[in-house]
Amino acid sequence: MHQETNNRVEVARKMQERLRQLSGHVRNDIDSTRDEGLRAVLETSQHMLEGLEKAFARHALENPNSPEQP
């Protein structure tokens, strides 16, 4: 595997883990609040975090040989 590919996959893996952890914290906050406005914001945030996690996975897998950005 090419060095840039290794780095891209490793960066994506680390970001996915961080996003997964943050999404879990947000999910816990959703479960612990009764404020409907706050729940809506947290639910939207959780969906965005899940989307970012998927985007990192796709980028690392679909573009393994594309040049890295500075």
As a whole number, mean pLDDT of residues 24-39 equals: 96
As a whole number, mean pLDDT of residues 8-14 equals: 85
State the residue range of the domain holding 51. Answer: 3-61
Distance CA 63, CA 58 (A): 8
State yes or no: pLDDT of 6 exceeds 90: no
Q: Is residue 54 in a domain?
A: yes
State yes or no: pLDDT of 18 exceeds 90: yes
Distance CA 26, CA 45 (A): 8
Q: Is residue 67 in a domain?
A: no
26-50-5 Cα angle (round to 5) = 130
Task: Please give the span between the terminal C-alpha atoms of the chain, in angstroms, as a whole number.
Answer: 21
pLDDT band of 42, cuts 50, 70, 90: very high
Give counts: helices (H), strands (E), the chain.
Answer: 2, 0
State yes or no: pLDDT of 52 exceeds 60: yes
- The residue assigned the tokens 């060095």 is 3
Give the pLDDT score at 68. 52
Name the domain count of the chain: 1
